[in-house]
Amino acid sequence: TNKFKEGLTKTRTAFVEKVEELITRRKKIDEAFFEELEEILIGADVGVNTVMNLIDELRAEVKKRKIESAAELQPILSEKLVGLLKGEGDKQLRMADSGMTVILFVGVNGVGKTTTIGKLAHKFKSEGKKVMLAAGDTFRAGAVEQLEVWGQRVGVEVIKQGTGADPAAVMFDAVQAAKQRNVDVLLCDTAGRLQNKANLMEELNKIFRVIQREVPSAPHEVLLVLDATTGQNALSQAKLFGEKSGVTGLVLTKLDGTAKGGIVIAIRNELNLPVKFVGLGEKMDDLQEFDSEQFVHALFA
Ligand code: GDP
């Protein structure tokens, strides 16, 4: 919870402190109060649709409970936010019933995919699992090296080929190697170029097929990594990837560096995808399982 609290400092300042200031200043709930609240929420990247729904619900609640003082609205707002953020399948990753779990990571370059893979490798390893990484981003110069740096840091093996190699071939190698070495969790990086969307989706499909042929229950998760600092852009990326690439869950990175933490609420509300983890820094253990109650408590505490 402390990690959450620390990591969400900027969002707290931009959002919660403004709400608190509004409550103290206005004291009474009226039209002007709701208008200002709406502005604050939109400013925190909660997203227009989500904000409209939320404000409507708050209005209804105020009417129903005959609330007049703004201070009484704060706990109701927290409650509503927890409700909005709560989702099926958050936190928990689907793991293989027996044998190897394969997790695929997708997302645009620079969102923090490699870092997230490194952090998760560390997490699994510290749980006593045998972890292996597959360097499936053969497109971006430096991507393989970067994954290797994480592999060394965490102490796990990285399966790679040269830049320009067929990512599906890398995956094939990786699955074979992982089987041979009795690996528990195979974490697979993929390319994140968006210049040619059709090619990228085709490449992802091919990777899928190769993995599935070797491990029929895999991939157990396809995690889309999104950069929270890009706000509404992250939402568009989620819509773009979500439709075509079989995404099963989300990771939201860089929440520590942004005042736009409200984007989590928008994403949760507009997409039917669980949020598995959030990134709260650049270090190995700056990855937190996403828990809606903890998240809201960290914001309002
Ligand atoms: P990739 O291109 O998607 O693989 O992105 P990288 O993993 O290389 O990350 C891009 C940059 O974002 C790097 O400088 C990372 O250290 C940084 N980064 C990744 N996750 C986080 C996070 O949760 N918080 C912060 N502050 N930085 C992060």
Residue 99 Cβ inside 6 Å of ligand 1? The answer reads no
Per the CB < 8 A criterion, the answer to whether 84 and 50 are in contact is yes
Residue 281 Cβ inside 6 Å of ligand 1? The answer reads yes
pLDDT tens digits for range 109-168: 999 999 999 999 999 999 999 999 999 999 888 999 999 999 999 999 999 998 889 999
Residue 282 Cβ inside 6 Å of ligand 1? The answer reads yes
DSSP sequence for 17-48:
HHHHHHHHHH-B-SHHHHHHHHHHHHHTT--H
CA dihedral 70, 25, 50, 256 (to 10 degrees): -120
pLDDT, position 133: 98
pLDDT tens digits for range 41-72: 998 888 899 999 999 999 999 999 999 999 99
Instruction: Using alpha carbons, list the distances in angstroms from residue 211 to 13, 86, 189, 215, 243.
Output: 44, 31, 13, 6, 20
113-126 vs 143-154: helix crossing angle, rounded to 10:
20
Indicate which residue's Cα is closest to atom 16 of ligand 1: 282
- 25 appears as a binding residue in the annotation: no
Most confident of 7-11, 106-110, 180-184: 180-184
Indicate which residue's Cα is closest to atom 22 of ligand 1: 254
Distance 279 CA to ligand 1 centre (A): 9
CA dihedral 63, 270, 78, 259 (to 10 degrees): -130
Please report where in the chains the tokens 């390319």 appear, as a residue.
191
Three-state secondary-structure class, residue 90: coil
Indicate which residue's Cα is closest to atom 12 of ligand 1: 112
> Region 159-179: what's the mean pLDDT?
95
Q: Where are the alpha helices (DSSP H) in 65-138?
A: 73-85, 113-126
Q: Which residues pair with 250 in a beta bridge?
A: 224, 275
**Residue 274 burial (CB count, 10 A):** 19
- 99 appears as a binding residue in the annotation: no
- 287 appears as a binding residue in the annotation: no
Q: Which residues pair with 288 in a beta bridge?
A: 278
pLDDT, position 301: 67
Q: Is pLDDT of 189 > 70?
A: yes
Which of 4, 105, 194, 253 most suits a substitution to test ligand 1, by most atoms within 8 Å of the C-beta? 253
Distance 94 CA to ligand 1 centre (A): 24
Report yes or no on whether pTM surpasses 0.90.
Answer: yes
Residue among 253, 211, 14 nearest 111 (CA): 253
Indicate which residue's Cα is closest to atom 13 of ligand 1: 112
pLDDT, position 86: 82
pLDDT, position 148: 97
